[in-house]
Amino acid sequence: MLYDTLIKDPLLPEADPTVSYWQTPLNDKVKDIQSVQLPSQSDIVVIGSGVSACSTIHELLTGGYAGKITVLEARQICSGATGRNGGRIHVHAMQDYDRFRQQFGDVAAEKIVRFQMLHYDAIEKVARSLGPEGFKQAALRETQSVAVAFSEKKLADMKRMLANFEAAFPDWIGRWKIVEAEEAQKKYKIKNATGAMIGVAGAIWPYRLMTAVFATLQERYPGRLFLESNTPVTSVSKTSNPEYAYSVHTPRGIVKAKHVVYCTEAHTAHILPRFTGLIVPRRGQVMVQRPGAEFEDLSGKRSWSFYLDEGLFYLHQNATTGDIILGGGELGGFDGAHNSYGERSDAKESLAAKTHLSGALRVLFEQWGEVAPNEKSIKASWSGIMANSLDHVPFVGQLPQEAIDDRRIGAPDSGAEWICAGFSGFGMTNAWMSGVALARQMAGKGVPEWFPEQYRISSQRILQLQMQLAQIGGSENHLRALYSKL
């Protein structure tokens, strides 16, 4: 049953995952970094080393935090979702405003979208802080986004969403526009398009940026930041020591900590069982292809989303090599995609998604052509594990009692447990600034006014979601309806 799949233990990350294009080559400075001996105690222990972990640590250290921070990563640094995603910083502004206003209301939906739109500039600022060579390696760039419709119904939905969006965001009128079938087919060279929404987005080499930030922080704050790769956390328990209240258990030993931060995404429920069913793993598929000889080379300045009735494809182009990074490929709507819910292994690929991705481009583009005889059409293919939250937004903040099984919560000013996880596949437009917001809360600076209230974790939110899941757990149809929104 679907319910049984959704409440499975996500376990620890696989020891031997598929090889991600982004992680080739690996960052030698941090990939397998370890202290000779695991630190016995630390002011803050951060579990995980993706975007949210990197952001939280960056904000703490650059914001004046003077304590010692230890990062515990189950595999190599940045080997999880951040090092395996599609590489886009793409806010689906109209679509997100539309779905979040239905879920949370107009005011909350506007705040969420504005929060998401902060991410490109925030990430650009961090990338530029690495210097010209570091910025070049990050491959950050603005792109023109082309969201293509292949049915009159989908195009009508786009027009409706854009009208509602511009009414709510008068300061952004003109940043997105609709083009009809003829222009979509002739100017943007998309076969059979009924129309498209043209807008703004971004792209990046996520692994390079985050590992460079980690390496820079360690050099800048010697003796304050300890990166411990290949050190999986098996459990967390409470101690009797009022100064270091938590024991973080690993195969290499125990780290005593004042604060513990869970940047654990799809594997959260393995360490925090109360999140079982609230944060659910989901496997995604990504592929890199060489373009056909007739494909219009735009130097990486455009990205595409193809909305078919049966599923979604998205892609962008490497500005230097011309390689095309393509993701999605799950067809059949939720009935086709739900098989990936509960799937926590990135050591396997989705054969169905891989099959669809491998043939999609010559079908979708008007001009494609053949790949040069001495080149492989598929350069790389891998999977990654997303963390879908039950109410479609991340959990950020101090863990309430309802999120912890067997220990009392701590106090924010002296020692507590915190979380920044559950980004539902949209980490590049949510995770960095969520980490900033979390770090400011940990530092006693309060919740930033720009941070969405709906992202904050609370006792009430946890209880409501646990109750909702329990009430519909035996109903396959209700579960499908709930998770199909993710």
| Secondary structure (3-state) at 365 | strand
Whether 25 is in a domain gets the answer yes
* Nearest CA among 454, 464, 431 for reference residue 109: 454
Of 446, 451, 420, 414, nearest to 435 (Cα)? Answer: 420
Residue 431 forms part of a structural domain: yes
Mean pLDDT across the chain, nearest whole number? 93
Q: Which H or E element spans position 125?
A: helix 119-128
Give CA–CA dist 363/190, Å, rounded.
Answer: 9
Is 53 inside a domain boundary? Answer: yes
Q: Which helix (H) or strand (E) holds 149?
A: strand 141-149
Q: Identify the H or E element spanning 360.
A: helix 351-364
CATH number for the domain harbouring residue 469: 3.50.50.60
Give the Cα separation of 266 and 281 in Å (integer). Answer: 5
The predicted model gives 255-272 an average pLDDT of 98
Residue 455 and residue 451: Cα distance in Å, rounded? 8
Residue 391 has pLDDT above 90, yes or no: yes
3-class DSSP state for residue 225? strand
Which 3 state secondary structure label does DSSP give 242? coil
The rounded distance, in Å, linking the Cα atoms of 242 and 246 is: 9
The verdict on residue 229 lying in a domain is yes
The whole-number pLDDT of residue 80 equals 97
Q: Assess if residue 252 is contained within a domain.
A: yes
pLDDT tens digits, one per residue of 193-238: 999 999 999 999 999 999 999 999 999 999 999 999 999 999 999 9
pLDDT confidence of 310, banded at 50, 70, 90? confident
Residue 215 lies in a domain: yes
335 pLDDT tier (thresholds 50, 70, 90): very low
Write the pLDDT tens digit of every residue in 407-446. 899 888 889 999 999 999 999 999 999 999 999 999 999 9
- Share above pLDDT 70 across residues of the chain, in percent, rounded to a whole number: 95
In a domain, 469, yes or no: yes
- DSSP codes, 368-398: --PPPTTS-SEEEEEEEEEEEETTSS-EEEE
The number of CA neighbours under 13 Å toward the Cβ of 404 is 22
Across 89-105, b (16+ Cβ under 10 Å) vs e yields bbbbbbbbbbbbbeebe
Query: Please, which pLDDT band fits residue 486 given cuts at 50, 70 and 90?
Result: very low
Distance CA 225, CA 67 (A): 9
- Tokens for 239, please give them: 């101690």
| Count of C-beta atoms within a 10 Å radius of residue 129 | 14
Q: Which domain holds residue 454?
A: 17-84+207-280+390-474
Whether residue 127 lies inside any domain: the answer is no
DSSP secondary structure string for all residues of 55-122: HHHHHHHHTT--S-EEEE-SSSTT-SGGGGS--EE---HHHHHHHHHHHH-HHHHHHHHHHHHTHHHH
Strand stretches in 290-433, DSSP E: 302-308, 311-317, 324-331, 378-389, 395-398, 417-421
Task: Look up residue 210 and give its two tokens.
Answer: 């985050």
Name the CA dihedral angle for 267, 271, 277, 282, rounded to a multiple of 10 degrees.
10
What is the number of structural domains in the chain? 1
CA distances in angstroms from 458 to 79, 80, 238, 394, 462, listed in the order given: 30, 27, 21, 12, 6
- Host H or E run for residue 289: strand 279-289
Read off the pLDDT band of 339 (50, 70, 90): low
Q: What is the pTM for the complete model shown?
A: 0.96
C-alpha 51/C-alpha 81 separation (Å) is 9
Would the pLDDT of 375 be above 90?
no
Residue 47 pLDDT level (bands cut at 50, 70, 90): very high
Look at residue 480 in the predicted model and tell me its pLDDT. 62
CA distance 476 to 156: 31
Summarize pLDDT for 226-248 with one digit per residue, the tens.
Answer: 999 999 999 999 999 989 999 99
Give yes or no for a cis peptide into 373 (omega within 30° of 0). Answer: no
Q: Measure the N-to-C terminal CA separation of the chain; round to a whole number of Å.
A: 19
Q: Determine the Cα angle at 113 with ends 185 and 79, to 5°.
A: 85
